[in-house]
Amino acid sequence: MSIRVMSWNVDGTFPPAGSSAAVNAKVEWLDSLEQLPDILLFQEVNPNQRELWHELLLETLGYTALTDTIEWARDLANSNGHITAVREDWRLSENRFGRDSTGTPVELDTLDTAFPEKILITDIELPQATIEVLNIRAVPGSSWGVEKIIILEQVYEWMTTTGEKPRILAGDFNAPNTELADGQAIPFGYEKEAEIRNRWVSAELNLLKGIGHIGLIDAFRAVHGYGDIDQVDLSWDRTKRFDHLFMSEEFGLNDCRYLSEGYDYSDHAPIVAEFEI
């Protein structure tokens, strides 16, 4: 069974009231693609456009089920939330609880963050397996300081505590600062003050480089390897690779790429992966 998954920061924060014209343009572009994603992960969805997004995804594009954290963002007076949607007749359920290796219940909210809506975890039940999908966005550290690394820490703790399973982790990590040709990721933490530097570096590198032991691979790197990154392969404002997609190594990964045409509709290019399960 072949599955296509897309993760995209749709840049819905500005203008603050949102733009119905911009939402419609994004959906028209998605509809023009040769193949729509089977699993769609959006970040930075403006709460004021929630109903329009629901209508267009379900009625225009034919997605069968979706869930979001947009109301949560609205209740917290935060600027945006996430959407996760599926096109097939699969059961999609939000999940903020799991179990560790001993069977003990684990709750996602183990760390206190001002932006809990930036972590949307869903279980997608396919005929062959249930996939856990983490749709995340780390808020910019330049604006929100330690809140960025709290989100990264919370995601890492969730995955390492609940253990290896069929899983997709994708979204806007707002990291790293840069990548070297040999594969090293240079985190923003190296630029931070001494008292927070080590924690910041660890939070970024744990997700970018430290989840192989729970069976996850960087889909883009698995396909393209290392070396200098072409300009078109950078996912944020054509300057940095902030948007990532990790998946279980047991999946048969066929392809992973950034769609640079997405820059016409957002300051982020969506990342798309195709795999077999």
CATH of residue 75's domain is 3.60.10.10
184 pairs with which residues across the strands? Answer: none
pLDDT at 99: 77
Residue with token string 């947009």: 70
Q: How far apart are CA 8 and CA 40, in angstroms?
A: 8
CB contact at 8 A, 9 and 172: yes
Q: How far apart are CA 84 and CA 30, in angstroms?
A: 15
Radius of gyration of the chain (CA): 17
Q: How far apart are CA 75 and CA 5, in angstroms?
A: 29
Sign of the Cα torsion 42, 47, 49, 54 reads positive
Which one, of 156, 160, 162, lies nearest residue 138 by Cα? 156
**Token pair for 261:** 């045409």
**Token pair for 206:** 């744990």
Q: How far apart are CA 88 and CA 153, in angstroms?
A: 32
Exposure b/e, 193-225, CB count within 10 A at least 16 = b? eeeeeeebbbbbbbbbeebeebbbbbbbeeeee
**DSSP-based three-state secondary structure for 28:** helix
CA 215 vs CA 23, 26, 185, 238: distances in Å: 36, 33, 19, 30
CB contact at 8 A, 71 and 50: yes
pLDDT at 105: 75
Residue with token string 């889909």: 219
Number of other residues whose CB lies within 10 A of the CB of residue 16: 9
Which one, of 157, 159, 114, 152, lies nearest residue 136 by Cα? 152
- pLDDT tens, the chain, 277 aa long: 999 999 999 998 888 888 999 999 999 999 999 999 999 999 999 999 999 999 999 999 999 999 999 999 999 998 899 999 999 999 999 987 777 777 777 777 655 789 999 999 999 999 999 999 999 999 999 899 999 999 999 999 999 999 999 999 999 999 999 988 888 999 999 999 999 999 999 999 999 999 999 999 999 999 999 887 665 567 887 888 999 999 999 999 999 999 999 999 999 999 999 999 8
Domain count of the fold of the chain: 1
pLDDT at 15: 87
Q: Which residues contact 97 (CB under 8 A, 6 or more apart)?
A: 105, 106, 107, 108
Domain, as residue range, for 245: 2-276
β-bridge pairing 65-68 and 81-86: antiparallel
**DSSP-based three-state secondary structure for 122:** strand
pLDDT at 78: 87
